[in-house]
Amino acid sequence: MSIIGTNIKKIRIKQNLSAKQLAKKCGISETALLEIEDGKKVPTTQLTKLITKGLGVNIDAIEPAYFSEYFDESPEPKESAPASTARILNAKQENLKPSGSNTISDAISKAVKKIPVIGKITAGKSIPFEGDIIDNKFEPVFQGKNNNVAGEDFIYYMVQDNSMQGARIMKSDLALVFLTESIRDKDIVLFTYKNNTYIRRYKSASDSFVVLYPENPDFETYAVDKKDIKIVGKVLRVEFKI
């Protein structure tokens, strides 16, 4: 059973819902739901949202398991998982010989995933907008676990200032952002406000009012109506240069 499925089943049982009842609320088949709970199927991002909506819980109730499925940060990588892009690129050529339609490029594309790096967000454009992309990073695929994650679900944002210095996020660091509007208090979020792009810590003040505050007193706190900002996503981790 997968961690995602375990969390879904645990919450469903706690709410005294049968699999049939929850599946109906989500607009999916009971069989599909049971396959997810049993770990036979990994739900897409859209399906995950449907299930959390059916359960009436925030996506964060199962999100920690979601991220661990795709970003294995254990200090000792498993032998069966590629430890880095370099490990794939340095593999002996005879192990990557084409077989039918397979090529070296195919093998590498299955082992790594390209994530765009942006330095700003242009208002009214899709995210990521091609004109905002300044680079690309390649993430290793761990045992094929992120095959169900669309490339556009993640971006790297090059931090533009030291407003989150207290959270050890500095200018020019690369923040990995999961594109979602499902945010909880104390999350560090990427958002746009008045056509500018910011990273701040999130605090909900009411159903319609939020406070977005820095971790550096030299920078501005924004207390705004939710409709006046656009939440791009939550910061999962940060990479810095040495």
The answer to whether the 3-70 and 159-239 domains have the same CATH topology is no
Looking at residue 105, what is its pLDDT?
A: 54
Q: How many CB atoms lie within 10 A of CB 171?
A: 12
Mean pLDDT score of the chain, rounded to an integer? 79
Residue 19 has pLDDT above 70, yes or no: yes
Cβ atoms 165, 216 nearer than 8 A: yes
Residue 56 confidence (pLDDT): 86
Query: Which residues lie below 8 Å from residue 178, measured CB to CB, with a gap of 6+?
Result: 67, 153, 154, 233, 234, 236
Q: What is the 3-state secondary structure (H, E, C) of the chain?
A: CCHHHHHHHHHHHHCCCCHHHHHHHHCCCHHHHHHHHCCCCCCCHHHHHHHHHHHCCCHHHCHHHHHHHHCCCCCCCCCCCCCCHHHHHCCCHHHHCCCCCCCHHHHHHHHEEEEEEECCCCCCCCCCCHHHEEEEEEEECCCCCCCCCCHHHEEEEECCCCCCHHHCCCCCCEEEEEECCCCCCCCEEEEEECCEEEEEEEEECCCCEEEEECCCCCCCCEEEEHHHEEEEEEEEEEECCC
* Domain positions in the chain: 3-70, 85-155, 159-239
Question: Who has greater pLDDT, 92 or 226?
Answer: 226
For the 159-239 domain, the top CATH level (class) is mainly beta
Taking CA 137 as the corner, what is the angle to CA 99 and CA 93, rounded to the nearest 5 degrees?
Answer: 25
Query: Which of 1-10, 87-96, 120-129, 209-218 is modeled with the greatest confidence?
Result: 209-218
Query: What pLDDT does residue 38 have?
Result: 84
- Angle, nearest 10°, between helix axes 19-26 and 45-55? 120
Residue 42's pLDDT band (cuts 50, 70, 90): confident
Ramachandran category for residue 142: left, alpha or beta (phi over 0 → left; psi -120 to 50 → alpha) = beta
Q: How confident is the model at residue 103 (pLDDT cuts 50, 70, 90)?
A: low
Q: Residue 106 — very low, low, confident or very high, per pLDDT cuts 50/70/90?
A: low
User: Is pLDDT larger for residue 137 or for residue 219?
Assistant: 219
Mean pLDDT, range 91-105, rounded to an integer: 50
pLDDT of residue 144: 44
Within 10 angstroms of residue 218's Cβ, the number of other Cβ atoms is 9
47 pLDDT band, cuts 50/70/90, is confident
Q: Which residues pair with 136 in a beta bridge?
A: 116
| Residue pLDDT, tens place only, 140-196 | 765 444 444 444 589 999 999 999 999 999 999 999 999 988 899 999 999 999 999
pLDDT bin (cut points 50, 70, 90) of residue 110 is low
Fold of 3-70: 434 Repressor (Amino-terminal Domain) (1.10.260)
Given a cut of 90, is residue 66 above it in pLDDT?
no
Q: Report yes or no: 133 and 122 within 8 Å, Cβ to Cβ.
A: no
* Mean predicted confidence (pLDDT) in 196-202: 96
The band of 64, judged by pLDDT with boundaries at 50, 70 and 90, is low
Q: What average pLDDT score do residues 73-89 get?
A: 45
Gap between the Cα atoms of 139 and 135, Å rounded: 13
